[in-house]
């Protein structure tokens, strides 16, 4: 991976999309994340909102936008669950910020790097979730790292298919 100056890379490779994509893609991810566990049952090892957050954060290369998108997606997921609102929000806020910050500094056009980033950021999101729930809030929560590993692998697999599709929606000059 090649390290570049932050401003030069950002100016060169900011991905732009039609406005409707910013609305529809996250909404679709949230709806599918809520619906797919029904037919898939316990094998729903993925976190589509996280994948979408990482994608837009890496593409837009704006930490503020990544932060806001992560926070919105996380809070939305929390609102649909029965848990306290903000736990997922904090985890995805941090992930969105980190993904955008990394996107400024490294070449994220490489698929392997994208997949590795997705995998690592998924695990990081799980770790932050666990930290907030158990340490920050002091609540009891049973946890399975194996499940989180499956989810991280699932996210990477989805990213492998989804990222090229979303790349086609970019606005080209």
Instruction: Extract the tokens encoding 20.
Output: 């409707």
Q: What is the DSSP letter of 171?
A: P
> Interface residues for other proteins in 57-76 (CB under 8 A)?
63-64, 67-68, 71, 75-76
Neighbours of 141 (CB within 10 A): 11
CA distance 8 to 35: 41
Number of residues that bind other proteins (CB under 8 A): 53
CB–CB of 108/99 below 8 Å?
A: no
Cβ proximity to other proteins: between 112 and 138 the closer is: 138
Q: Which stretch binds other proteins (CB under 8 A): 14-22, 114-122, 136-144, 157-165?
A: 136-144
Task: Give the residue, chosen from 3, 112, 138, 161, that forms a contact with other proteins under the rule CB under 8 A.
Answer: 138
- Residue 141 lies near other proteins (rule: CB under 8 A): yes
How far from each other are the two terminal CA atoms of the chain, in whole angstroms?
Answer: 26
Instruction: Extract the tokens encoding 97.
Output: 């910020």
Instruction: Extract the tokens encoding 128.
Output: 């932050």
SS3 content of the chain, % helix, strand, coil (to 5): 75, 0, 25
Cβ proximity to other proteins: between 69 and 108 the closer is: 69
> Interface residues for other proteins in 4-33 (CB under 8 A)?
27, 30-31, 33
Task: Give the residue, chosen from 52, 57, 58, 87, that forms a contact with other proteins under the rule CB under 8 A.
Answer: 87
Cβ proximity to other proteins: between 115 and 130 the closer is: 130
User: Under the rule (CB under 8 A), what is the footprint of other proteins?
Assistant: 27, 30-31, 33-39, 41-42, 44-45, 48-49, 63-64, 67-68, 71, 75-77, 79-90, 93-94, 97, 101, 129, 132, 136-144, 147, 151
């Amino acid at each position: 991976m090649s390290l570049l100056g932050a401003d030069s890379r950002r100016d060169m490779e900011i991905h732009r999309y039609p406005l409707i994509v910013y609305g529809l893609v996250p909404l679709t991810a949230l709806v599918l994340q809520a619906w797919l566990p029904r037919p898939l049952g316990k094998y729903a090892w993925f976190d589509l909102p996280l994948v979408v957050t990482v994608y837009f954060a890496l593409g837009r290369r704006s930490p503020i936008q990544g932060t806001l998108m992560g926070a919105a997606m996380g809070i939305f997921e929390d609102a649909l669950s029965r848990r306290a609102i903000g736990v997922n929000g904090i985890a995805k806020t941090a992930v969105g910020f980190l993904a955008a910050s990394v996107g400024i500094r490294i070449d994220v056009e490489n698929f392997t790097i994208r997949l590795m980033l997705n995998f690592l950021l998924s695990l990081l999101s799980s770790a932050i979730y666990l930290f907030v729930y158990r340490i920050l809030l002091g609540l009891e929560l049973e946890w399975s790292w194996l499940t989180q590993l499956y989810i991280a692998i699932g996210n990477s697999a989805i990213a492998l298919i989804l990222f090229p599709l979303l790349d086609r929606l970019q606005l080209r000059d």
